[in-house]
Chains A and B, each alone.
Chain A
C-alpha cells in the first residue's frame, strides 16, 4: 500500500467507526448508536434545563424579595451542585422512573401493562435526571449574568414607561445572554460526559433501536439508548474479551473528548456572537 492508499484506508476506517453499528458484542464495528444517543440526550437535557434554570434565576434575582428565605434557596442550589451524581441517578430512578413513569403507564398505557412503557429507564428520564443535576450550574451562572447588567440599562427602559417584564425581556435578558450561554455550556459539558446516573435510568450496552427514527411519533422518549461514556465503561471493563476491545475503548474515549470540546466550542462561538451583538455600556 502506498501513502494514498493508506490514507484512504485510514479515513474509511474512521468513517465506518462513527457511522456503523457495533458487532461482536461491541468489540467490532462502529459506535454510531452511542454517538447518536449522547447527542440526543444532551439536546433533550439542554431543552429541559434551559427554561427551568433561567426562569428560576430570573425569579430569584428580579422578583423575589431578598430575605432569609431566598438566601436559603440560593445556598441550597449551590449545595445541589456538589451532590454526587449517582445520588441524582437514585433520585431519577425512584421519583421519575418508578413513581412518575408508573403513574403515566397506569393512566395512558394501561393496555400494554404489565410490560412498562415509561415505567422503566428511558432517554426522557435520563435527560431529566441530567437536567436536575445541571440546573444549579445554569441558575448560578444566570443569576450572576443578571446581576452584572448595568443599572443604567434597566433605568433607561423603566424611565420610558417600560413595565418590569418588558424591561427584563427586552433589555436585561439580551444583555445577560452571553452569561446565560456560559452557564449552558458548563451544564452541557458536565451532562454529556456523565455516566453514573445514566446507569440507573436507562442507558444500555446495546439498544435495539435509536431514540429517533422514521416511525411515528419519530422521537421515542421511552426508548433505552446507548451512550459514549457508558460504552467506554462497558467495553473496557464489562466485555468478556477486554483485550480485543482495547482499541475500541481508546478510540471511543478520544471521540467523547472531541465531542465535548466541539460542543463547548460551538457554544462559545454562539456566546461571542451574542456578546458582540448585545454589548452594553460601551461608553
Chain B
C-alpha cells in the first residue's frame, strides 16, 4: 500500500455479505493502472459474479472504462500503460506477460460505445470471429448466424437480407448486430462500454431487454451513464470516482440505500 490511498479519504464499502458464496468469474485485487505517469485506477478490489449483470457507474474519467478494458486487455493498444496487482479471470491471471490475449478476447467479448460493424454483409459480420478462428464448416456457420441473430433479437428484421451490407442497418440494429457478433464466439464475459449512449430511447430499451435476456447465459459487465438504466438491468453495481472504487454491491440496495455519501450524491444527481 505504498500509494497512500487511505489518506485520501476513500473508503471502499462492501454492502453485501453474500460475496463469498457467489460464483466469481472476474476477481480484481489491489489492481492499479497507469497511463504513463497518470495513475488511473487505485487499488481496485472487486468480485464480479458469473451470469449476472454488473453495472459500472460514475462520472466521466473516473476509470470505469479503463477497468472494463483491463478485463480483455484492450488497454494494451495504448502505448505506455501499466497494470499492477492481480486480475483473475476464473483462475487465469490477466496481469501477466504470458497471457494469450487472442484466446483471452475470445473468452471476453466486447461491445463498444459506437457500434462498429465491419463493412461487410450482415452474415459475414456475425461469423467474423469464427472465420478468423478458422471455422469453415458451412452448416455450422449458417446455424451460428441464425442462433446469434435470434439471441440478439435481430433475426426477424434481417433474415431476408443477410447478405446485404451491415452498414445499411439503423443505429440500434447495428448495435444489436455487434452484440450478435460478440456472442457468436461464445464468450464467458461480455463487456459493454456505454452501448446505448448513441441510441434513441426506443433502440435503448430494446438493447436493455436484450442485456437482461443475455445475463441469464453470460456474465455481463456494462458501463453506463444512465442511472435508471443501471437500476433497471443490473444485479450488481459499482460506483467509481476519480479512479477509486467507492462502492460495490447489490444494485437494489445501492440505489435504495447507498452506504456511501458520495454514491448517494451521484445517484440522486446532487453531485458536484
Q: Give chain A's interface residues, CB within 8 Å of chain B.
A: 150, 152-163, 166, 170-171, 174-175, 277-283
Q: List 30 A-B contacts (CB under 8 A).
A: A153-B118, A154-B77, A155-B116, A156-B116, A159-B74, A159-B109, A159-B110, A159-B182, A160-B106, A160-B109, A160-B128, A160-B129, A160-B132, A161-B103, A161-B106, A161-B133, A162-B102, A162-B129, A162-B132, A163-B132, A166-B132, A170-B132, A277-B119, A279-B119, A281-B116, A282-B167, A283-B114, A283-B115, A283-B171, A283-B174
Across the interface, do B103 and A157 meet the contact criterion of CB distance under 8 Å?
no
Question: A20 to nearest B CB, angstroms?
Answer: 47
Across the interface, do A278 and B119 meet the contact criterion of CB distance under 8 Å?
yes
- In order of increasing CB-CB distance, the 4 nearest A-B pairs are A152-B116, A161-B106, A160-B129, A159-B110
B254 interface hit (Cβ, 8 Å): no
Across the interface, do B132 and A174 meet the contact criterion of CB distance under 8 Å?
no
Contacts of A157 in B (CB 8 A): 118, 128, 132
Contacts of B114 in A (CB 8 A): 152, 283
Question: B87 to nearest A CB, angstroms?
Answer: 17
Q: Give chain B's interface residues, CB within 8 Å of chain A.
A: 72, 74, 77, 102-103, 105-106, 109-110, 112, 114-119, 128-129, 132-133, 167, 171, 174, 178, 181-182, 185, 198
Distance of A163 Cα from B131 Cα, bound (Å): 12
Contacts of B182 in A (CB 8 A): 159-160
Across the interface, do A152 and B132 meet the contact criterion of CB distance under 8 Å?
no
Across the interface, do B119 and A161 meet the contact criterion of CB distance under 8 Å?
no
| A159 and B115 contact, Cβ closer than 8 Å, known pairs A283-B174, A283-B198 | no
Across the interface, do B185 and A160 meet the contact criterion of CB distance under 8 Å?
yes
| A159 and B105 contact, Cβ closer than 8 Å, known pairs A170-B132, A283-B171 | yes
Distance of A160 Cα from B133 Cα, bound (Å): 10
Across the interface, do A171 and B112 meet the contact criterion of CB distance under 8 Å?
no
Question: A183 to nearest B CB, angstroms?
Answer: 20
| A152 and B105 contact, Cβ closer than 8 Å, known pairs A160-B129, A171-B118 | no
Distance of A121 Cα from B117 Cα, bound (Å): 51
Contacts of B178 in A (CB 8 A): 156
Across the interface, do B112 and A156 meet the contact criterion of CB distance under 8 Å?
yes
Distance of A280 Cα from B120 Cα, bound (Å): 10
15 new A-B contacts at CB < 8 Å, known A156-B181, A159-B112, A160-B129: A153-B118, A155-B74, A156-B112, A156-B116, A156-B178, A159-B105, A159-B110, A160-B182, A160-B185, A163-B102, A171-B118, A277-B119, A278-B119, A279-B167, A282-B167
Distance of A283 Cα from B175 Cα, bound (Å): 11
Across the interface, do A155 and B167 meet the contact criterion of CB distance under 8 Å?
no
Across the interface, do A158 and B119 meet the contact criterion of CB distance under 8 Å?
no
Contacts of B174 in A (CB 8 A): 283
Across the interface, do A280 and B119 meet the contact criterion of CB distance under 8 Å?
yes
Distance of A152 Cα from B193 Cα, bound (Å): 12
Nearest-CB residue, chain A, relative to B107: A161
Question: B265 to nearest A CB, angstroms?
Answer: 33
| A161 and B116 contact, Cβ closer than 8 Å, known pairs A156-B178, A283-B171, A283-B174 | no
| A161 and B77 contact, Cβ closer than 8 Å, known pairs A150-B116, A156-B118 | no
Question: A179 to nearest B CB, angstroms?
Answer: 14
Contacts of B118 in A (CB 8 A): 153, 156-157, 170-171, 280
Across the interface, do A161 and B115 meet the contact criterion of CB distance under 8 Å?
no
Across the interface, do A153 and B116 meet the contact criterion of CB distance under 8 Å?
yes
Q: Which of A158, A280, A281 has the most CB of B within 10 A?
A: A158
Contacts of A170 in B (CB 8 A): 118, 128, 132
Contacts of A160 in B (CB 8 A): 105-106, 109, 128-129, 132, 181-182, 185
Across the interface, do A152 and B129 meet the contact criterion of CB distance under 8 Å?
no
Question: B20 to nearest A CB, angstroms?
Answer: 31
Contacts of A171 in B (CB 8 A): 118
Question: A155 to nearest B CB, angstroms?
Answer: 6
Q: Which of A163, A166, A282 has the most CB of B within 10 A?
A: A282
Nearest-CB residue, chain A, relative to B167: A282
Contact of A161 (CB < 8 Å), options: B112, B129, B167, B198: B129
Distance of A128 Cα from B203 Cα, bound (Å): 56
Contact of B185 (CB < 8 Å), options: A150, A161, A279, A280: A161
